Chain A
């Protein structure tokens, strides 16, 4: 059973667009929600993270929105660039880290 559901599986946007990746969870014990960015052949890199008592967090062009009552959170990438093309994983941590299925993002020039 997948505890963190991520959508879409793949996403194509034009440069400057705002891709949005959504995640949903069931386990209310999760208390920390990181997002990772992974380029081909590389390990995941921590991008941004949020705690459930915060509704929004911004770091540069990356914003996490968090809806605790709906048990959903999302990543927005402002002014997306071709260099943002990567696979993005949401995750949730209780005693262990649980990954979502990943979203392959392509930003076209």
Chain B
């Protein structure tokens, strides 16, 4: 099956620092990747859609200057949490869209747990 990796799997940082999370599709090319945030015992909340070679599309209420997204290649998207604060602590999950003929689905990475002190 399609594999999506994320790095790092967890990170602890001080308030005010920036944190970069990488999302890679390992065995397929993904023109579109997605970034989600998940709070405990809740469903995934879509933050933004990352499109290769173009600007990301952010969901309402998500600060684009706070959460910088770069989709530099067909297998890599990065999310940078700038000037992180404790309220940014969360579980961040990326996914990559796989198109197989007329079928489309998303494969998810293992997630990155961010703790901002």
Contacts and interface: CB of A to CB of B under 8 A. Distances in A.
B93 interface: yes
A36 B110 CA distance: 13
A19 interface: no
Interface of B: 1, 4, 6, 34, 41-44, 46, 49, 91, 93, 95, 103-111, 113
Contact of B110 (A32, A42, A49): A42
A102 B43 contact: yes
B44 A99 contact: yes
A93 B111 contact: no
Contacts of A109: none
Contacts, number: 48
Contact of B44 (A32, A44, A49): A44
Interface of A: 32, 34, 36, 41-46, 49, 51, 89, 93, 96-97, 99-102, 104
Given A44-B93, A46-B1, A104-B41, A97 B110 contact: no
Given A41-B111, A99-B43, A99-B44, A46 B105 contact: yes
Contacts of B105: 32, 34, 46, 49, 93, 97
A41 B103 CA distance: 28
Contacts of B43: 89, 99-102
A43 B1 CA distance: 15
A43 B104 contact: no
A51 B105 CA distance: 11
Nearest to B44: A99
Contacts of A99: 43-44
A93 B107 contact: no
Across the A-B interface, the 3 shortest Cβ-Cβ residue pairs: A43-B108, A43-B111, A43-B110
B106 A97 contact: yes
Nearest to A44: B108
Contacts of B103: 32, 51
B2 to A, nearest CB: 8
Contact of A43 (B6, B41, B46, B49): B6
